Structure 1
Amino acid sequence: MSSMFQEIVAFFFSTAGWILESSTLPTDYWKVSSDDGSVITTASYWSNLWKTCVTDSTGVSNCKEFISMLALDGYLIACRALMISAVILGFFGSIFALVGMKCTKIGGSDKNKARIACFAGVHFILSGLCSLSSCSIYAHRITSEFFDPMFIAQKYELGAALFIGWGGSVLCILGGTMLCFSIAGSFTSRLVNQQTNITTTKNKIQNKNRSGYGIHSQI
């Protein structure tokens, strides 16, 4: 796989993952109420990082936003911070990737573009790790409450937003890793070319010297 094609594939994976992460942040269904053990369900509950809602049997929803940050649970604050960091890191990673890719005309020399592409890959990897940590922390809280026999409040199950976030995280990490490896491949090919040029130059010099020695010996 050529380094340019690898960069294009990596950029596609990373950008797709960043879009999924960004869409996860405002998504409603981070957790949904569990119907386990319920014969009749009159309402469904669901929550995300910003609000908690209830939908009755007629389809009418009532939501309550988390107004005070100081009153929030620690895990919820951590999830917010990690997801916002993931979105910001992915945004700058996309910009750096556009500048550092070989198929673009900006960014300076190939050496500088390779460094910028690697820097973009690091941003995407960090973005994926932040999103992965946020979704995993939130999911751990849900599963801990669900399997706790002493927890008597409403129990929840994993919502669709968590799976979207996990998928986006994997794509970001995969794309960022490919970007970092693409710079290694370009440096390797550059070293091979330099060594080939040096070897060719040495051979030319040796051939000239040999021809010169032959002329002197004939004289």
Structure 2
Amino acid sequence: MSLILELTGFAFTLCGWVIIGATLSNSYWKVSSIHGSVITTSTLYENLWHSCAEDSIGVSNCRKFDTLLALPAYIQVCRALMITSLTLGVCGTLLTLLGLKSTLLGPSSQSTKTKIAMTGGVIFILGGLSSMVAVSWYAARITAQFFDSFYGGTKYELGYALYLGWAGSLLSIFGGGFLTCSAYNQQDRDQYDYSASERRIYTKPSEIVTSAKDYV
């Protein structure tokens, strides 16, 4: 059961990491709303790197954000969080591969592999939380501007990239949790086996003495 939980968690974390990477490169983080808009012949959409306009025949023109310092603070933080999430995903993948019981990579000691796998699971959880915060913060800004009656700019709705980001974050968090639980259960089992072997070692001399007395 522990091996199945470990492999399931690793598969979840890999899928989550790939989806988070697809979210970062996706252009549809927010899409212009037709609600209350007088311009319906073009669609505006943005992500963390550029803004685009698509006309009625499907031709898109994109413009990259010119400078980093002129961007709103939440976009800069979301960029940093998403890149941090992907970096943690790489580190978590390498550590988990070394700590999996089903692989011959890494140390031969089972207890060491268990600790490495647990560390990889924790890193995946942190990566999932980083992307979750970035996507949720971006979505909160879109929602706040949409329902603000005094906001004079273009109002946007949530793009499907945000839903991908939420899905990838949840997969990464759940997968990391599975890895951590699997490693924790394995660690408890190892400690129980070690304690049982110690009890057997310490009870053998007394058993010998008892049997000797019975013989006499």
Give the TM-score taking structure 1 as reference length.
Answer: 0.94
Alignment-derived partner of residue 161 in structure 1: 161
Alignment-derived partner of residue 54 in structure 1: 53
Whether contact under 8 Å (2:142, 2:156) holds in the other structure is yes
Q: Using the alignment, how far apart are the partners of 2:39 and 2:46 within structure 1? A: 21
The reply on whether 1:42 has 2:48 as its aligned counterpart is no
The reply on whether 1:8 has 2:7 as its aligned counterpart is yes
The reply on whether 1:97 has 2:96 as its aligned counterpart is yes
Secondary structure at 2:201 match in 1: helix
Q: Using the alignment, how far apart are the partners of 1:171 and 1:76 within structure 2? A: 24
Alignment-derived partner of residue 115 in structure 1: 115
Secondary structure at 1:45 match in 2: strand
Larger Rg: 1
1:116 to partner: Cα distance? 0.8
Alignment-derived partner of residue 124 in structure 1: 124
Q: Which piece of structure 1 moves more, 204-213 or 167-176? A: 204-213
Secondary structure at 2:34 match in 1: coil
Secondary structure at 1:62 match in 2: strand
Alignment-derived partner of residue 170 in structure 1: 170
1:98 to partner: Cα distance? 0.5
Whether contact under 8 Å (2:20, 2:168) holds in the other structure is yes
Alignment-derived partner of residue 73 in structure 2: 74
Alignment-derived partner of residue 28 in structure 1: 27
1:201 to partner: Cα distance? 3.3
Whether contact under 8 Å (2:111, 2:190) holds in the other structure is no
Q: Aligned letter for 2:99?
A: G
CA RMSD of aligned residues (A): 1.4
Q: Which piece of structure 1 moves more, 18-27 or 103-112? A: 103-112
Q: Using the alignment, how far apart are the partners of 2:84 and 2:209 within structure 1? A: 63
Secondary structure at 1:41 match in 2: coil
The reply on whether 1:192 has 2:169 as its aligned counterpart is no
1:6 to partner: Cα distance? 1.4
Q: Using the alignment, how far apart are the partners of 2:85 and 2:36 within structure 1? A: 37
Q: Using the alignment, how far apart are the partners of 1:183 and 1:205 within structure 2? A: 35
Alignment-derived partner of residue 182 in structure 1: 182
The reply on whether 1:210 has 2:210 as its aligned counterpart is yes
Q: Using the alignment, how far apart are the partners of 1:106 and 1:60 within structure 2? A: 50
1:148 to partner: Cα distance? 0.3
Number of equivalenced pairs: 215
> Displaced runs of 4+ in structure 1, greater than 4 A?
none
Secondary structure at 1:25 match in 2: helix
1:203 to partner: Cα distance? 4.2
Q: Aligned letter for 2:209?
A: N
Q: Using the alignment, how far apart are the partners of 1:173 and 1:142 within structure 2? A: 25
Q: Deviations over 1:98-132 (max 9, x none)?
A: 11100011221111111111111111011001100
List gaps (5 residues or longer) in structure 1: none
